[in-house]
Chain A
């Protein structure tokens, strides 16, 4: 228990979540299930990135009474991965909504959500 750190737990959990999402994307036949797999994949990547930025025993990068401005570099975790993950989450919602709009349109065209039925480009 002593030799594993919080960031290692986060990284392992995130990688396993990425694998679950990838499994859904390549093995499921329902388009909605594939989109759910994509969003799990997204969440896994975010957990890995925040876990990489964590430094043992440090606090959040908000300077207030708890963090001395002069010694901030020794008291806070890395703010850069957090900023990138913040934008990535919002983009993830946009992409998920776009995929759902495509899925809805495909359903209205073919009356099915099974990817095996979409074989127009297959030769």
Chain B
């Protein structure tokens, strides 16, 4: 029962963060929201009895993939400043 409540709250948080990631105008906010989606999803996997998947999602989805998004955004910003 309490597990289901937690699952519903997590699902709502995932969907809210997903909408923020799509609709926010600032790319930095959008990237962070996508990372938070992955983080909540990894807690969700733990509820669904999948600890292996939860570990992978926490390390890759919310760690490495956010970092590589930021590297690319950083490069684009630097290019834009060089050319302006």
The B interface is mostly helix, strand or loop, or mixed, namely helix
Roughly how many angstroms separate A1 CA and B65 CA in the complex, as a whole number? 36
By a CB distance below 8 angstroms, the chain B residues around A76 are 49
What 1/0 flags go to B45-65 for Cβ under 8 Å of A? 101111111001100110011
| Contact (A32, B73) CB under 8 Å given A47-B41, A89-B61 | yes
What 1/0 flags go to A1-26 for Cβ under 8 Å of B? 10010110110110011001101100
23 example contacts (A-B, Cβ-Cβ < 8 A) are as follows: A6-B3, A10-B7, A10-B44, A20-B18, A20-B22, A21-B22, A24-B21, A32-B27, A32-B72, A36-B30, A40-B34, A43-B38, A43-B41, A46-B41, A47-B14, A59-B49, A77-B50, A82-B50, A82-B53, A93-B60, A103-B72, A104-B76, A113-B76
Closest to A103 in B: B72
In the complex the two chains form, is B4's CB within 8 Å of A4's CB?
yes
| Contact (A47, B44) CB under 8 Å given A1-B4, A30-B27, A62-B51 | yes
Roughly how many angstroms separate A65 CA and B64 CA in the complex, as a whole number? 34
Q: Does A116 contact B (CB under 8 A)?
A: no
What 1/0 flags go to A49-88 for Cβ under 8 Å of B? 0110110001111100000000000001100001001100
Q: Does A121 contact B (CB under 8 A)?
A: no
Number of interface residues of B (CB under 8 A): 44
Roughly how many angstroms separate A47 CA and B48 CA in the complex, as a whole number? 9
In the complex the two chains form, is B53's CB within 8 Å of A46's CB?
yes
In the complex the two chains form, is B72's CB within 8 Å of A6's CB?
no
Q: How far is the CB of A32 from chain B (nearest CB, A)?
A: 6
- Partner-A contacts on B (CB < 8 A): 1, 3-4, 7-8, 10-11, 14-15, 18-19, 21-22, 27, 30-31, 34, 37-38, 41, 44-45, 47-53, 56-57, 60-61, 64-65, 68-69, 72-73, 75-76, 79-80, 83
Roughly how many angstroms separate A61 CA and B45 CA in the complex, as a whole number? 13
Q: Does A97 contact B (CB under 8 A)?
A: yes
